[in-house]
Structure 1
Amino acid sequence: MILRPFWFAAASAAVLLSACATTAPPSTEAPITAPAPAPKPQAQVGTFGFDVAGMDTSAAAGDDFFRYAVGKWVDRTEIPADRSSLTSFAIISETAATRTRAIIEEAARANAPAGSDARKIGDYFASFMDEARIEALGAAPLKPELDAIAAIRSRTDLSRALGASVRADTDALNATNFYTERPFGVWIAEDLDDTSIYRPYLMQGGLGMPDREYYLADTPRFVELRGKYVAHIAAMLKLAGYSDPEARAKRVMALETAIARTHVPVDQSADVAKSNTVWTRAELPTKAPGIDWDAFLGAAGMADQPRFGAWQASAISGMAKLVDGQPIQAWQDYLAFHTVERGAPYLSKAFVDEHFAFNGQALSGAPQQRERWKRGVDFTSNALGEAVGKLYVERHFSPQAKAEAQEMAENVLKAFGQRIDRLEWMTPKTKARAKAKLANFRVYVGYPDRWRDYSGLSIVPGDAYGNWSRGVLFEYRRNLAKLGKPVDRTEWFMTPQTVNALFAPSQNSIIFPAAILEPTFFDPNADAAVNYGAIGGVMGHEVSHGFDDTGALFDEEGNLKNWWEPEDMARFKAEARKLADQYSAYEPLPGVRMNGEQVLGENIADVAGLAAAYDAYRLSLKGAAPQTIDGFTADQRFFLGWAQNYRSKFREPTLRRMVVTGVHSPGPWRALTVRNLDAWYPAFDVKPGQKLYLAPDDRVKVW
């Protein structure tokens, strides 16, 4: 399975993005000035579905479309003190979190039968909210794990400890999750060469900062962060009771820097064809010498697996050499720190505060910790996501919304098929395979047909740390249990209360959770042009992922198999290169340019998806004439619906992190997708000489 989510991160008010910005993950630098806490801005949605009051029509759409579409929203909106950014996704997520809180707190009060999902939900949340109990325990919950680390005496012991630490927390094609802070990641998904079976994939991990560049780049900002990180490591180890924490911190940093040198960069990790490396069990000791693989795999629960994916093969081999080549004391300090770091959010206030001081303030620029109930809602939802989600959709997702969203998705698929038919550059043979793949798409809206079983998860009242630890182990074992069984093609990879969407290439499935089907993305009462520009663009984006630079490599059964005629692939790559060059020209921060290749897949999906959504809107009219409403034509409302999805403000550290590590362009730059659609130009009277004007031959038309 490969996930390509439609993902947005929120950022902060220290940086105002112009019409050349796009969406990305939160960054990690301290703000120059911290904005004062502000009330959450409420979207003022017009009677036909978008925020007219948030527009700045004094800006020319052809010079600064982002400013034109959302400029006054940017001016009046402050990033809340507990966030490193603010986006439309974040605002809708606040609504979902408030709803989820009510569900969880009701479960906590209900005293439901022991063992029931409702009781587990309530006990998990109540245990996390019991600060007095957590404070009284202090560092005690860490003791069994830290004692086990202290008992490591040999390379075999170390290999066993590393194997026992792995969890199912990586994802080879979700670039927001390419690697784990644990030494190794394990991703259990469809075998890319035969999607009827599952395969375990080993993935690079082991870094406490977001990317190898944070360890290796010589920029002043990263040098400063490295100093803060060493101090943070020492502070965490001191809180856990370790002697000489400064010396230990230096050893940890030296080891992580060595690990960073082995890591494969983000853009290379996204290269599926190169990364689909298969090692047999017998080959592991020769391909990656240095680890006792018998001990590692036995502790990881994979002793009987005959073959593995080595996604970043050179990094796996490099890490194995470090297991053999670095002193055991350095590994013990490293494992101890990361045990404390992972568990800190569930421990006493001193741990929580220090964890936030580095990860929230220094890395992301957020001046204030999120309220405890919000963290509790997130953690409970992570551990018992579908149990919470089942209650969420019962209360907050109507059959009408599901039916309308499904109809829109069907129109988007139909429109995409018609676009394939009209392609002049593609040969009939490749067109036929593309249409076969499109016909095999599965579309899931709202919630899964079968809910996950949590009967095997033990939730103990008053044990916040243990509940978290058992929850991640439960999820890992759930994934391990897939091995050797037929692939479940109905599995959901997001909970219904998640504000997001995704495409799973190995399953040819797209998922739109209930929580994203809310204004401003989708409103059953809104004008269709706005809905198609907003959620229709998201739907088109996910469909297009099946045909982007990665999705195009998967056939109609989801197997990694070339189905293109060579001349068609050459034409596709040439057009994609134009899009990469277009985005490489954007400079979100002075001296910080986007890597067009790194964000290419998401930008292809944006361009093709928005074009398909535009055609789908026209199909939905069924021959009726488009309407002008309150002075806005249907085409204007369509493109404004798209652009207002990308309302965003970022703190500088978050924006920098997004550009360095992300595969999505930050929000305002995603709004610039419109430059490649011919219909945008007459809609806003965009002329040659304006800043965003592209000559017809320079507009990218991938599909």
Structure 2
Amino acid sequence: MKQIYLLAFILLAAGACRQKSESGESRVVISGIDSTKKPGDDFFIYANGIWYDTIRIPDSQTGVGSYSFLNYPQRTRLQGILDSISAASNVAGSVEQKVGDFYASGMDTATINKRGHQPLQPLLSRIDAISDVPSLLKLVAEEQKAGNGSIVGFYVGPDDKQSTVNIAQFYQTGIGLPERDYYFKSDSTTTGIQKAYLAYLTRLFELSGTAAEVARKNAALTYEIEKQFASAHRTNVALRDVKANYNKLAVAALSKKHPNLNWAGLLNVLGAKVDSVNVGQPGYYDKLNTMLKSVPLADWKIYLKAHALSNYADFLSQPFVDASFDYTKILTGQAVKQTRAEEMTQAIDQSLGDALAQLYVKKYFPESAKKRMAVLVENLKKAFEARIDRLDWMSDSTKAKAKDKLHAFSQKIGYPDKWRDYTQVTVKRGTYFENRLSADKNEYLYNLNKLGKPVDRTEWHTTPPTVTAYNNPPLNEIVFPAGILQPPYFDVNADDALNYGGIGMVIGHEITHSFDDQGAQYDKAGNVTDWWTKADYAKFKARTQQVIDQYNAFTVLDSMHIKGALTVGENTADIAGVAIAYDAFKLTEQGKDTTRLDGFTPDQRFFISIARIWRVKTRDAYMSMYVNTNPHSPAKWRVNGPLMNFTPFYKAFNLQPGDKMYKPEKDRITVW
């Protein structure tokens, strides 16, 4: 399988190979353009069509290409590290020893299969021993601490109104399908997923020793309890309302409102002794309080067993892993399971992420990339400030506050200054289940230890090898891990057109998230507050509504449309990200020049680079779930959508009325 991922990586990069100039310098050459296509009809296909038509999605994956799918070949690197250290004689107590032993325990499928579901039996017995609602809630809270969430969603994070302090936070949970609407839609795709999920739950019960007929009844009962929860869930679109998700309430008041929940007792078991908490979605906890009385205790036991079995299925023997995958392949279209080594690589990234990252950074991440990125970020920030100054719809007072927020930005590049300590994680060969449990408990305690303390501004919320980037509004920061600082996003040998169209666009995108429909509600200190004038905010909302309307019209998979209200933040960031990156590019020597390389002007190379960083091909089943649940638009529309609104793109490729991407200049959307 390793060869397939390397092949996919090679094909991904095939449209941009290296070539040495007469002076001996290496540079990146653009190739693979489909010149039979008009760039103004479908620029994504013009730049990526040859690759798209010839690439094959590996059977063990849901898609192939760049961005998140670049993590698949990335795991080949990580797997190589793990194979090496797990076979070596490592110093006891070293990072290498802990990571190597964890990996070896997961690769020891003979021992895992021999144990079956025995590691889970003590928990199933504890569920059987529940005698009343208080003992039910006690077990739920104890399991939350072990990483087994069920009817309570709890974490510690910054207070949106006082972002320097961490508080206890609760969110809606309790369901097993991807989101609430999967319980209520009746189209053939959704009903197929519902049936697959019920079959999955049934199989889990059977594998734990339940008779087939009883297992089916248990699965149906669990599903109906989840459906009740789903009826109280906010939709993914509603969850974008930052202010609606802030409901800081006194524990005493919650206890009166929810007598069945016993908030004080619940928080005590969670280890969070506080006077107030933020309840993100109060309607869910209203529903839970009612259901604790209306749902029989025997039914709750079945529900908790179902969630325990599902939560731990991938930690158990092969039949449980197979049952989990049988459901996953219906949900995503993935044809065959990933190799065990791939699965373990992901498991260690989740459980001991910083430990593995130290080994990755040491081997693969050049410090030169960090230095050049710092320059790119500063140039993009300057370009964004200039765009704020030129806005014709924003008042000077709001512009001043927007620039204050921009100046207060911080950025993290590559990897953290200090690494996580995993001393408290117990790892032994031959005990994979217990190793995962120890890591999950450590993660909970790490999170709980933040409660009531100042926010740690050095903390990272992704592992450095991951191909991603993010904006963190409460800290007013943007983060670019080492994983994304590689082709096609960033290449030290690439000309500025490619790097500004690549990682430059990503930087512009992440900066803009501080000024999208959600980020715009946070001030420079990371607090949710009204820093806009009412008139300016109304104009801003009108422009983001234009973004919603445009993307609602884009069709994916026959009649399925992008959900404009769900993706508005990412689409706004894409539209502005292109513009900011272009402005920054025009400040460079190449940006001011017109010299062609590989037959393309600097501007054309810039836009081709944008198309290449979103070069992705996915399975239809995965795309269906993606459109329903993901706040990002599909890759094609992350290219064509922003470029349809950007006049310099029209000039670079001579778009004319009649071209499918053409929009009259008055209709082109500019938010920032």
The TM-score range, normalised by the shorter chain, is over 0.9
* Matched residue, 1:172: none
Select which of 50, 56, 61 maps to 1:72: 50
* Matched residue, 2:661: 692
* Matched residue, 1:177: none
- Give 2:183's aligned amino acid: Y
Select which of 373, 376, 387 maps to 2:344: 376
2:114 maps to 1:136: yes
Whether the 8 Å CA contact 1:50–1:641 is kept in 2: the answer is: no
2:259 maps to 1:281: no
* Matched residue, 2:61: 83
2:438 maps to 1:470: yes
2:323 maps to 1:346: no
Change (3 A) 1:700 1:636: same
Change (3 A) 1:247 1:92: closer
- Give 1:260's aligned amino acid: A
Matched position secondary structure for 1:609: helix
* Matched residue, 2:199: 231
2:156 maps to 1:162: no
% same residue? 36
1:168-567 equivalences in 2 (<5 Å) = 182-243=150-211, 244-302=214-272, 304-359=273-328, 361-567=329-535
Aligned partners of 1:63 and 1:498: how far apart in 2?
Answer: 34
- Give 1:441's aligned amino acid: F
Whether the 8 Å CA contact 2:28–2:495 is kept in 1: the answer is: no
Shift of 1:390: 1.3
Shift of 1:624: 4.9
Shift of 1:40: 2.5
* Matched residue, 2:625: 657
Shift of 1:184: 2.3
- Give 1:614's aligned amino acid: Y
Shift of 1:273: 1.3
Aligned partners of 1:135 and 1:224: how far apart in 2?
Answer: 30
Unaligned runs of 5+ in 2: 20-26
Aligned partners of 2:92 and 2:300: how far apart in 1?
Answer: 41
- Give 1:341's aligned amino acid: S
Unaligned runs of 5+ in 1: 1-35, 170-179
Aligned partners of 1:131 and 1:486: how far apart in 2?
Answer: 43
Structure 1 consecutive aligned stretches of length 4 or more whose deviation exceeds 3 Å: 36-39, 46-54, 286-289
Matched position secondary structure for 1:202: strand
Encode CA deviations 1:418-462: one digit per residue, 9 max, x unaligned. Answer: 111111221111111111100111111100111111112111221
Whether the 8 Å CA contact 2:501–2:606 is kept in 1: the answer is: yes
With normalisation by structure 1, the TM-score equals: 0.90
Whether the 8 Å CA contact 2:197–2:327 is kept in 1: the answer is: yes
Whether the 8 Å CA contact 1:38–1:79 is kept in 2: the answer is: no
* Matched residue, 1:110: 88
Aligned partners of 2:574 and 2:259: how far apart in 1?
Answer: 42
Q: Which moved more, 1:446-455 or 1:617-626?
A: 617-626
Shift of 1:73: 0.6
Change (3 A) 1:108 1:327: same
Change (3 A) 1:105 1:38: closer
Shift of 1:107: 2.4
Q: Which moved more, 1:46-55 or 1:190-199?
A: 46-55
Q: Which fold has the larger relative contact order, with Cα–Cα distance below 8 Å and residues 6 or more apart in sequence?
A: 1
Change (3 A) 1:285 1:51: farther
Change (3 A) 1:614 1:162: same
* Matched residue, 1:175: none
Whether the 8 Å CA contact 2:489–2:613 is kept in 1: the answer is: yes
Structure ranking higher in helix proportion: 2
Whether the 8 Å CA contact 1:540–1:610 is kept in 2: the answer is: yes
Aligned partners of 2:595 and 2:243: how far apart in 1?
Answer: 46
Change (3 A) 1:623 1:215: closer
Q: Which moved more, 1:180-189 or 1:210-219?
A: 180-189
Aligned partners of 2:234 and 2:146: how far apart in 1?
Answer: 20
- Give 1:632's aligned amino acid: F
Whether the 8 Å CA contact 1:291–1:321 is kept in 2: the answer is: no
Encode CA deviations 1:207-227: one digit per residue, 9 max, x unaligned. Answer: 111011111112122122222
Whether the 8 Å CA contact 2:497–2:591 is kept in 1: the answer is: no
Whether the 8 Å CA contact 1:181–1:207 is kept in 2: the answer is: no
Whether the 8 Å CA contact 1:642–1:671 is kept in 2: the answer is: yes
- Give 1:443's aligned amino acid: Q
Query: What is the aligned residue count?
Result: 656
* Matched residue, 2:23: none
- Give 2:597's aligned amino acid: I
Whether the 8 Å CA contact 1:196–1:487 is kept in 2: the answer is: yes
Shift of 1:587: 1.5
Shift of 1:625: 2.1
Shift of 1:616: 1.0
